[in-house]
Structure 1
């Protein structure tokens, strides 16, 4: 049986607002022949890019990920993926982080990998927990996160009056010192 021996990359960001350039650069530098991408949470079951990569991979190939948490957030999911790859004769290579290197699914390598996957999941859970606690503490003090509001009630009243007189959105936005998009959103509400 002939094996392909290609490096295949997989990159993932949690939202479309995030940029995968750092991952893409690392995967390209490592020599990945082809790269698959998802813009979805690691906990999401709908990761078309990962599914396409899994279908594309052949015996002898290596799946490369920038960091272990890009492959998945749950210990169980990452272990299932790693075991599936191993059973098919496909290697797993992690480019950065504590587990940088190749996954060995036997003996001490499997134990270490399992522990590191569990620690990665624990780390993510702790970050989420700390973020929520911080937001709750700020809210209890009357502070809220996010960008400050630029369209207060006074500006909105002025904008509506000027718009009713037929003034253009561009002119009103310029006079109030806000963007047209902000003004459109405020007028729609």
Structure 2
């Protein structure tokens, strides 16, 4: 069975799906098997795409007018097609730069393989740039990565938990979203406030008093 997906985006000026609809119907897609979203390609919440993918069954083929109607970016596209392939579902693109993509054919599978390789290459480049950036920041005396922040609410919970026998410090840190170093800077192993903890609660009390 052929199932069609359309997307109209104000960002690229395509206000209607008439052209896409005509192309999908001409390809043999049943009008009852058409799904349409009206959103930006970068918007993650596309309910009709989710419904379309969910409706597909083994042996079906998803038909789209252009590749940019389907995926937000290369990795998103590759993930969608990989999921479809794993479920025995084909993908066919009717026009544009991805018109050679038809995963129901050998040549189409080859094209998708190239896309997947490019997506992996993109991931590796991003990873390399991130590692290089963190190394450069450390060389300048700055620590990279997301800060692990203690809050007054987390601190009070930590005080109560650390005072109880049998508390697993590792589990507590995961629950609070902080490191052991952050925990012990604020609270002692017996649940008593340390200097950083006293400062944090004092600052919190001053905010409340204002």
TM-score w.r.t. length of structure 1: 0.54
For 1:112, which of 110, 114, 122 is the aligned residue?
A: 114
Asked if the contact 1:99/1:113 (under 8 Å) is kept, the reply is no
Cα distance per residue 1:169-188 (max 9 Å; x no partner): xxxxxxxxxxxxxxxxxxxx
Q: Distance in 2 between matches of 1:73 and 1:116?
A: 15
TM-score w.r.t. length of structure 2: 0.49
Structure showing greater radius of gyration is: 2
| Structure 2 spans left out of the alignment, 5+ residues | 121-210
Greater shift in the superposed pair: 105-114 or 33-42: 105-114
Counterpart of 1:8?
3
Counterpart of 2:16?
19
Asked if the contact 2:74/2:115 (under 8 Å) is kept, the reply is no
Cα distance per residue 1:63-102 (max 9 Å; x no partner): 0000000001311110010000000000000000122140
Cα distance per residue 1:139-160 (max 9 Å; x no partner): xxxxxxxxxxxxxxxxxxxxxx
Asked if the contact 2:66/2:95 (under 8 Å) is kept, the reply is yes
The list of structure 1 runs, each at least 4 consecutive aligned residues, that deviate by more than 2 angstroms after superposition, is 103-118
Determine which structure has greater relative contact order: mean sequence separation of CA pairs < 8 Å that are 6+ residues apart, divided by chain length.
1
Q: Distance in 1 between matches of 2:80 and 2:112?
A: 13
Q: Distance in 1 between matches of 2:22 and 2:119?
A: 24
User: Please, what is the CA RMSD of the aligned residues?
Assistant: 2.7
